[in-house]
Amino acid sequence: MKLIIEADGGSRGNPGVAGSGAVVLDEAGNVLVEIARYVGTATNNVAEYTALIAGLQAAIALDAGASIHVRMDSKLVIEQMGGGWKIKHPDMISLGAKVQELVRGREVTWQWIPREQNSRADALANKAMDELADSTVHVGSGESASANAGDQPAMTKSAALTEFNATLPSSVRAPGNVTEPLTTFILVRHGRTALTEAHKISGGDGDDPELSEAGRGDARAVAELIATFGKPGRFELLAAPTAIVASPMQRTRQTAGFIAEAVGLEVETLENLREIGFGDWDGHTNEEVSASDPETWNAWRGSWTIAPPNGESLEVFDKRLQEGREKVLRQHGGKTVVVVAHVMPIRGFLRWGFSATEASYWRSQVAPCSVTIIRAWGDQAAEVVAVNLTEHL
């Protein structure tokens, strides 16, 4: 028996939402199996290899002794699997090894075909991307299944993803004609310090404490969470981080270091992300400050322009922070950036993301090592995905 596989993959963003499609036919050209495989966030090449693997698994399941003829419009995959080109990219090496394992000892031939001759597999890849789910249809029997090849659990679309747009703003009320690339900010507050645990004010111009033992535990936990971005699971539609930018203070650099180790990136520092300056109040509790200078304390609360003695007002701080945000956008636009900072800088990002008033600086909770996520298209549009996520702690 001879079986024919047509396979294709696509990615909306490259990397972006990715899907694979494979069709298994008999020698007469009758379709036996159609497979749509949702890949998550990946490149075109990963999706194409995933399609090939799915097609091979289905063909072998139909007849383990059949000869197999593979047709794809991916010159890269055909040449690499046919032995003409070497595989150099790490992601491709593991996928190529999986293909070689499947075809070992079997009669397999490889053929490149023009894109227009691969429309069936292309349609299935787009189906997977549209539905964010897998499907397998045995055409001859009319049976349909949502399980992955190899009896793996089905990838189904959760309620959280139903209205999620991986490349553009999700709300239909968002501005149209968005042309700037998508930048994803993963905002992480630093872990606990001795001052945090003592409920003492800790700004950007006073003591510069290190993480406490509990704070290091916080940092390890958030690093494990950040490492899941772009992988199957809750955050698979958000691309994996490509940069880490941190405040220059010890507690943020140390927290960023745990994340950097987990995701294999270097840490950049940016002065603009330093915490707001509390001046003479730094190192004291709120109760101590309110008792020693009640007039200034009461005037400062809820004020945009009043600063602590020798400290920063919100007006001055916000200007500094927004200039820093713009620097990050210029340097890392179109990427996923982990920003490790403090309470007030993260609230400043939220103020910008929501186009909010200054009152937003005291209306959101930002816990140690919590995660806040904002997607932005330059200054054209923004989308707040999550605020103060703490379930990993």
The upper half-sphere exposure of residue 237, i.e. CA atoms within 13 Å in the direction of its Cβ, equals 23
User: Residue holding tokens 């709120």?
Assistant: 286
Active-site option among 275, 312, 332, 383: 275
Return all residues near 17 (Cβ < 8 A) that are at least 6 apart: 11, 40, 41, 129, 132, 166, 167, 237
For residue 71, the cross-strand partners are 6, 111
DSSP letters spanning 232-249: SSTTTTSPPP-EEEE-SS
Please state, in angstroms and rounded to a whole number, the distance separating the CA atoms of residues 312 and 276.
6
User: Residue holding tokens 């009319």?
Assistant: 142
- How far CA 224 is from CA of 72, 122, 214, 250, 275, in Å, comes to 37, 35, 16, 20, 25
Alpha carbon 322 to chain centroid, angstroms: 23
DSSP code of residue 179: -
Active-site option among 190, 236, 342, 383: 190
Catalytic: 271? no
Catalytic: 275? yes
3-class SS of residue 56:
helix
Q: Tell me the backbone φ, ψ of residue 282, rounded to 5 degrees.
A: -60, 135
Contacts of range 257-266, beta carbons closer than 8 Å, 24 or more positions apart: 257/219, 258/216, 258/219, 258/220, 258/222, 258/223, 259/188, 259/219, 259/222, 259/223, 259/226, 259/338, 259/340, 261/223, 262/223, 262/224, 262/226, 262/227, 263/223, 263/226, 263/227, 263/338, 265/241, 265/338
- Residues labelled catalytic: 190, 275
